[in-house]
Amino acid sequence: MWWSRALVCLMVLALGPAGCGFQPIYAKPRTAESSAMATQLASIRVSGIEDRLGQQVRNNLVESLSPRGEPARPLYTLKVELSQSSGGFASSKDGNATIERLTVKAVYTLSEQTSGQQVYSGQARSFTSFRYIGPRYASTAAERDSEISAASEIAASIRTALTAFFSDPNTFKKRQATIQRQQPMLPTTTDQP
């Protein structure tokens, strides 16, 4: 008899999220709404971004937004501006930096292709680090790996924000405004005494 109660409880728990409006962002598309989301994301043209790091971010964005290639007739244009800073995070006994922290900030805007009207904007940040290793080549390779990781994180963050925006633009804008009012910005190296 106890197992029938357990079964009923299990069924109630399993059906609970379905009634609350829960929709997983990372689930594979199963409905027309999900495929419409993929179509919206695939209709975004990513503008060129300066520097090597910018090209890595752009390539990651193009690959994740439109895996079949860039859209022939884009509905939206995504412009991304990057700023990058680095500084010693840890040092050895002789005062030389042994671990470097790389901070990348992206400010992006999504505009309609035809009118140029901005429909969404946001920011993304990535904090990565790399270790200085004896040979110079190894340290340079570690720095490049850190940049690749930062580019991937920035692109994933932008894609997630765009997915949330397209799922319900009005609700998302209200939520973002509330979060930005409540969340203090992280201190930067220029904020420190």
* Domain ranges for the chain: 35-176
What single-letter DSSP state applies at residue 98?
Answer: E
17-26, 53-62, 82-91: segment of lowest average pLDDT: 17-26
- The mean pLDDT of the chain is 77
Model confidence over 91-144: pLDDT tens digits?
Answer: 666 666 677 888 999 999 999 988 988 888 999 999 988 777 766 767 777 778
H or E segment and range at residue 64: helix 51-65
Query: How many secondary structure helices (H) and strands (E) does the chain include?
Result: 5, 4
List phi, psi (to 5°) of 4: -70, -35
Model confidence over 168-189: pLDDT tens digits?
Answer: 766 666 656 655 555 454 444 4
State the fold for domain 35-176. Double Stranded RNA Binding Domain (3.30.160)
Average pLDDT rounded to a whole number, residues 70-77: 90
Sole residue written with tokens 């400010």: 107
Which of the pair, 18 or 61, is modelled with greater confidence?
A: 61
Question: What is the pLDDT at residue 151?
Answer: 93
Most confident of 25-39, 81-95, 100-114: 100-114
- Yes or no: say if 107 and 84 are a contact pair by the CB < 8 Å rule: no
Question: What is the pLDDT at residue 144?
Answer: 84
Q: Which of 78, 83, 76 is nearest to 106 (CA)?
A: 83
Specify which residues 110 forms β-bridges with: 78, 120
Query: What is d(CA 174, CA 160) in angstroms, rounded to the nearest whole number?
Result: 17
Provide the whole-model pTM. Answer: 0.70
